[in-house]
Amino acid sequence: MKINQNYLDLKESYLFSLVAKKVREYKEQHPEREIIRLGIGDVTLPLVPVVVEAMQRAVLEMGVRETFRGYGEEQGYAFLRQAVCGYYAQKGVQLSDSEVFISDGAKSDLGNILDIFSTDNTVLIPDPVYPVYVDTNIMAGRKIIYVNGTAENGFLPLPDETIKPDIIYLCSPNNPTGAVYNSAQLESWVAYALEHEAVILFDSAYEAFVQDQSLPTSIYQIPGAKECAIEFCSLSKTAGFTGVRCGYTVVPHELVRNQTAINKLWLRRQTTKFNGVSYIVQRGAEAVFSAEGLKQIRANIAYYLENARLIAETLKDLGFWVVGGENSPYIWLKCPDGMNSWQFFDYLLAKAGIVGTPGAGFGANGEGFFRLSAFGDRNDVLEALARLRSL
């Protein structure tokens, strides 16, 4: 018996455990001080009423012989896949429901998709970024090349012609930086992927936060993307499903590599290793895409975006270098006075009782930067900003 040795190459993920440890220690030393958490990447508002009602109805159906359901289709119920197609149609993207795969969240599929690609492939990953892309490829022993997100390129790296990748990760709006690619920038990535016959894995988990109508919310709004991209999305941040668990992955029929339709491979993978998402959850997800559902979730998103705006404006006022926070729940700032990410973490905690996330936890280029999140309560955000101003 041999273990997968690649797992031993994974770096210890100490980011959130170290944050928790430092906060615990601070609390022990300052029990009277109220700590404000602007580091969390989890939502705080409850599910919207239409989602709750749809799931309640589904629970009742499951308790009646005539409407009880056992195993569903592995790729998701047609009613939800069609609802996702309807949502894309509103973005001007035409999909067939056989191109949509329902998942229990984007994280699972971002990792699972790698099953269908050879471990020989070279992977291109922007840095800093959501750490799951890096770790899932280390687990498989793939060669990883990084493209640098920097203050100079607004944390939106563009294709590097000296690299010939097979798999390209893009995350827009980005976690952790909140930066969003515009159409011209995504066009250059699509052209690059087509040139190298690479596949783009496009993570649009935060697409619902994009307010600027000129910015793309799906890679398929870019001509040619259906021939080179798979898109991963989630209801986690869109509709507060972090605990409910539902997402979707789009694999267009036009995406063909080695004379093989990727959609067919993914369907084969899913029908073998996955037994679908709960009926109750899928009914809740369907309700998100109804006219009333979209109205209700957009009100929650507007609340988070107002938090983001308040944070970003205050930071800019105070002279910080900032990206994100306009079309994203994340605000990415440069640590002041040459501090590194953890020094600024310690400083903010000690002087203001505010907890954020050190940028260094998202890749080498995150060092010297810091992520604040807008998913908290408005009063906490206002209190945190008052404390920042008085620092």
Applying CB under 6 A, which residues contact ligand PLP? 41, 105-107, 130, 171, 175, 203, 205, 234, 236, 242, 247
Q: Which is nearer to ligand PLP, 226 or 237 (CB)?
A: 237
CB of 234 to ligand PLP, least distance (A): 3
* Angstrom distance (rounded) from CA 55 to CA 284: 5
CB of 132 to ligand PLP, least distance (A): 7
Q: Which of 367, 379, 353, 374 is nearest to 23 (CA)?
A: 353
* Angstrom distance (rounded) from CA 200 to CA 186: 11
Q: Which of 358, 329, 376 is nearest to 17 (CA)?
A: 358
Q: Which is nearer to ligand PLP, 241 or 344 (CB)?
A: 241
- Cβ contacts of 291 within 8 Å, gap of 6 or more: none
CB of 109 to ligand PLP, least distance (A): 8
Beta bridge partners of 144: 123
Q: Which is nearer to ligand PLP, 174 or 314 (CB)?
A: 174
- Cβ contacts of 125 within 8 Å, gap of 6 or more: 133, 134, 137, 144, 145, 146, 147, 169
| Residue 201 near residue 113, CB atoms below 8 Å | yes
CB of 105 to ligand PLP, least distance (A): 3
Q: Which is nearer to ligand PLP, 98 or 242 (CB)?
A: 242
CB of 363 to ligand PLP, least distance (A): 13
Q: Provide the 3-class DSSP secondary structure of residue 367.
A: coil
Q: Which is nearer to ligand PLP, 314 or 375 (CB)?
A: 375
Phi, psi dihedral angles at 166 (to 5 degrees): -105, -35
CB of 223 to ligand PLP, least distance (A): 25
Q: Provide the 3-class DSSP secondary structure of residue 284.
A: helix
CB of 227 to ligand PLP, least distance (A): 23
Q: Which is nearer to ligand PLP, 171 or 349 (CB)?
A: 171
CB of 293 to ligand PLP, least distance (A): 18
| 161 token code pair | 């012609």
CB of 110 to ligand PLP, least distance (A): 6
Q: Which is nearer to ligand PLP, 171 or 331 (CB)?
A: 171
| Residue 175 near residue 42, CB atoms below 8 Å | no
HSE-up of 337 (CA within 13 Å, CB side)? 4
Judged on CB neighbours under 10 Å (0-12, 13-18, 19+), 171 is buried
Q: Which is nearer to ligand PLP, 171 or 323 (CB)?
A: 171
In order, the DSSP letters of 186-254 are HHHHHHHHHHTT-EEEEE-TTGGG---TTS-SSGGGSTTGGGTEEEEEESHHHHS-TTT--EEEE--TT
CB of 390 to ligand PLP, least distance (A): 32
Q: Which is nearer to ligand PLP, 185 or 314 (CB)?
A: 185
* Angstrom distance (rounded) from CA 4 to CA 232: 27
Q: Which is nearer to ligand PLP, 41 or 336 (CB)?
A: 41
Beta bridge partners of 371: 332, 357
